[in-house]
Amino acid sequence: MNQSLPEAVDGETVRGAAAPPAFIFFVGALIAIGPLSLDAYLPAMPAMAETFGVPIVALNNTISVYLVGYGISQFFGGAFFDQIGRKRIGLIGLAVFTLASVLIAFAQTIEQVQWLRFLQALGGGFSTVICMAIVRDVYPIAQLGRRMAMMTLIMLASPVIAPALGAALLNLGWQSIFLFKACYSSVLLLIYWSRVPETRPGEWHNLSVATTLRQCAAVVTRKVDGRRLPLRFACSMACAAGVFMTFLTNSSFAYIEYFGVSSSAFPLYFSVSIVGLIATNVYSMNRLTTENAPKYFRYGLIAQALAVLGLFIVVATGPNSIWGVVIPVAILVASFGLTGPAGSSQYMAHFDKLAGSASSFYTTLMFSFGAGLGGISGYFFDGTLRPMVLTMLVASLAAASMGATIRRHDRVS
């Protein structure tokens, strides 16, 4: 990582071959903070509920709280690093995330955990909001789809490893999971500070909330051929991602509480979905182009909607086997391996200088939807899987409906 990235020339970053080979791996490790924060403690949620003397739905709420904080930090973080530079925001975020992770390990009440999870989310959001933008800074449009698929593939190792790691660390107490997160972010903080240069410089005096709001408005109102095509991509992807986030919020209840799976076996069932997602991302990485991206985007949305419908039928008729839930969940998660890279590459290609604001708007939308949908399923919690599945079904149908408005020739050349 000691090679230099391209220097800025007349306000623009030179893209392409000068990027060091390890750069994309660092970005993948950085963005993995998000799933690591959400997935590593899933097997520990029943134990944490027992420690604090609360029902498991209270621990489910710590995921929704994290998603809210993550969305807020994504909104402001992206616009801020367009103004003051990517690296400053990333370093601040990693420092906050590390501090909050340590404090959670010493929390005495569930209320403290929830507030500290919010703080941890702010740091995690500032750390990861830069990822899509710095990839956009360095690589040309023609490479964006493959690079983002590669970045996503690296990131996806985290949801496979994180629950198993959390289950193993649980033997040392659930607190060890959060201390591990602190160590992970500390290492990234050191690498970023010492080895990775700035990809788009900025100055502190450029920081402005008013400018942030104007930049967001510019992203939302951006039109292509007289249509708000980028907004359609963003909203559709946010709904599609919200489907999985709803399951993520309820996964510990669904597998451990409802089906009686042990904490040590939980990662095996959970990882089935992630393996499918990795497979579709590998496919996207090898096959995705600017020409076929809209097609892959639509196919992914349709596959997700059909999988959620199948899950709804299983739950409505009474699931007798955990595999009746695991299999459709695996399909709906895997479908995002088509939808995510295709939609992100098309969406981000419409922005250059506003890449940070565009990235933050999309991720804010995605995590806000995820938090809202998770909160809805928690509000109607009745000890069954029905509230979770109904929420997922509505979100998947909304995503597919919006995706259907994107025509086959709607692509970036």
User: Does some domain include residue 38?
Assistant: yes
* pLDDT, position 363: 77
Per the CB < 8 A criterion, the answer to whether 246 and 22 are in contact is: no
Q: Does residue 252 form part of some domain?
A: yes
Round to the nearest angstrom and report the end-to-end CA distance of the chain: 32
Q: Does any domain span residue 1?
A: no
pLDDT on residue 21? 58
Q: Which residues contact 6 (CB under 8 A, 6 or more apart)?
A: 13, 14, 15, 16, 18, 19, 138, 199
Residue 320 lies in a domain: yes
- H/E element, 13: strand 12-13
pLDDT at site 181 = 94
Assigned domain for 365 exists: yes
Q: What is the 3-state secondary structure (H, E, C) of 109-171?
A: CHHHHHHHHHHHHHHHHHHHCHHHHHHHHHCCHHHHHHHHHHHHHHHHHHHHHHHHHHHHHHH
Sequence-ordered list of residues with C-beta below 8 angstroms from that of 411, at least 6 positions apart, any chain: 290, 291, 293, 294, 346
Q: Are 213 and 82 in contact (CB under 8 A)?
A: no
Question: Digits of tens for pLDDT over the chain (413 positions)?
Answer: 444 444 433 333 434 445 555 777 788 888 888 878 888 889 999 999 999 999 888 888 899 899 889 888 877 876 777 677 778 888 999 999 999 999 999 999 999 999 999 999 999 988 887 777 777 777 666 666 666 666 666 666 677 788 888 899 999 999 999 999 999 999 999 988 887 777 777 677 677 778 778 878 888 888 877 778 888 888 898 899 889 889 888 888 899 989 999 988 998 898 888 888 888 888 887 888 777 888 888 889 999 999 999 999 999 988 778 999 999 999 999 998 888 888 888 888 778 777 767 877 887 888 888 888 888 888 888 888 999 999 999 999 999 988 887 765 555 44
Q: How far, in Å, are 33, 159, 180, 248 from residue 123 at the CA level?
A: 10, 19, 16, 21
Looking at residue 140, what is its pLDDT? 66
**So what's the pLDDT on residue 387?**
93
Quick check: is 82 in a domain? yes
CATH of the domain at 391: 1.20.1250.20
The C-alpha atoms of residue 29 and residue 32 are separated, in whole angstroms, by 5
**Residue 114 maps to a domain:** yes
Q: Please check whether residue 312 lies inside any domain of the structure.
A: yes
pLDDT at 113: 94
Q: 219: which 2 tokens?
A: 């992203």
Q: Look up residue 19 and give its DSSP letter.
A: S
Report helix, strand or coil for 9: strand
User: Which residues contact residue 279 at a Cβ distance below 8 angstroms, ignoring those fewer than 6 apart?
Assistant: 334, 337
Strand-pair partners of 13 = 8
What's the pTM value of the predicted model, to 2 decimals? 0.75
How much is the pLDDT for 115?
94
What pLDDT does residue 158 have? 73
Total domain count, the chain? 1
Nearest CA among 220, 217, 273, 215 for reference residue 244: 273
How is residue 173 written in tokens? Answer: 């107490």
For residue 41, what are the domain limits? 8-403
